[in-house]
Amino acid sequence: MRLNWLKSFLVATLSLFWATLSTPALANESPAEEKLDPAKLILEHIQDAHDFHFFTLEKKDGTEFHATLPLPVIIYSNTKGFSVFSSARFHHGHEAYNGYKLEEGKIISEDPAEKIVDLSLTKNVVQMLLALTLLVSLMIGIAGKYKRGEGIQSAPKGWQNAVEPVITFVRDEVAKPNLAGKYQKYLPYLLTVFFFILINNLFGLIPGSANVTGNIAFTVVLGVISFFVILFSTNKHFWGHIFWYPGVPMVVRFLIMLPVELLGVFTKPFALIVRLFANMVAGHIIILSFVALIFIFGSMNAIAGWGFSPLSVLFAVFIYLIEIMVAFIQAFIFTNLTAVFIGQAFEGGHEEGHH
């Protein structure tokens, strides 16, 4: 008993000492040379850019060698018309070219009165086009094989073996349970969304590639398309439920159910958008943070940097495996939820049997 009282007393006095007698130790102003900024580094890797940057080496004479693949810049301005040039002319933002400057990854005009529309082939666009080519060539090739009877009268060959179970999975686990009866109409859209998101997720995991699905613009477009598909499958029963929710008093019906149900029409695709975006961005940030930890430790002490790298690489590999699983899961969840919402839009007539 006395020992407990003594311990509490010691804790109290020490906390008081710390809270009142401590002096603030402000961070020193370090010399402005090569200060490592991990947040900026990580954000640079997640955002879109005008070139593919693979790695940077420091040469013996102190200059840096950037292994990059510069991408074409296409700008339409209301004064100069179309300009097409390679982004290498910007020299990573150090030089202006033809009246345009690269600042923080965005192209701005040196003339403030000029309005420009940036239509460049950036990292995300090029990776989306690559995924598109892969998807279309793969699927058309496989469909051609099925048309010729391979895989129906004989055993499936080549890529059919990999793709057929996935298509069967989407048809039997996602489309049929949720869209009973009308699943044939929606299967092309569901399969397209599933494979496009999956291929872009998997491409985004390759080091040096672009983070397409972690880009809010990409997910917004997918969400809006799903929103319109859902909207065009609605029937009278659906809108009846929103404006005249059955089984509640009139006050509740108009004051609560109507706004809630109307908002619900919009929040469901919004959740789809943010879920895909947040999962992909968070995964990439985690992987990049583990790798950046090596550099953070390294900037404090070179030995600590080297010593910590095996641990960091181990964690990064572990998170990579989880991210591969998340790539599949997020594609599946987007497709599954779209199918569920479409099913909810045209279901109906289940009340009449109850009373």
- Closer to other proteins by Cβ: residue 87 or 336: 336
Measured at the CA of 155, the angle between CA 150 and CA 160, to 5 degrees, comes to 65
Binding footprint of other proteins on the chain (CB under 8 A): 18-20, 22-24, 271, 274-275, 277-279, 281-282, 326, 329-330, 332-333, 336
Hunting for tokens 């989306």 — which residue is that?
Answer: 128
- Closer to other proteins by Cβ: residue 326 or 342: 326
Query: Concatenated DSSP letters for 28-90?
Result: P---SSS---HHHHHHHHHS--SEEEEEEEE-TTS-EEEEEEE-EEEEEETTTEEEEEEGGGG
- Closer to other proteins by Cβ: residue 24 or 149: 24
In the complex, minimum distance from the CB of residue 333 to other proteins, in angstroms, rounded to a whole number: 5
- Closer to other proteins by Cβ: residue 22 or 63: 22
In the complex, minimum distance from the CB of residue 282 to other proteins, in angstroms, rounded to a whole number: 5
- Closer to other proteins by Cβ: residue 200 or 279: 279
* Dist CA 271 CA 277 (whole Å): 10
In the complex, minimum distance from the CB of residue 59 to other proteins, in angstroms, rounded to a whole number: 34
Q: Name residue 86's beta-bridge partners.
A: 72
In the complex, minimum distance from the CB of residue 29 to other proteins, in angstroms, rounded to a whole number: 16
Q: Considering all CA atoms of the chain, what is the largest pairwise distance in Å, rounded to the nearest integer?
A: 89
Cβ-count burial 47-83 (b if 16+ within 10 Å, e if not)? bbbbbbbeeeeeeeeeeeeeebebbebbbebeeeeee
In the complex, minimum distance from the CB of residue 162 to other proteins, in angstroms, rounded to a whole number: 20
Token digits of residue 220: 């917004």
- Closer to other proteins by Cβ: residue 167 or 304: 167
CA–CA distance from 104 to each of 43, 114, 294 (Å)?
Answer: 11, 19, 25
* Dist CA 52 CA 71 (whole Å): 7
In the complex, minimum distance from the CB of residue 178 to other proteins, in angstroms, rounded to a whole number: 13
In the complex, minimum distance from the CB of residue 285 to other proteins, in angstroms, rounded to a whole number: 9
* Dist CA 283 CA 275 (whole Å): 12
- Closer to other proteins by Cβ: residue 142 or 337: 337
Contact 160, 146 (CB under 8 A): yes
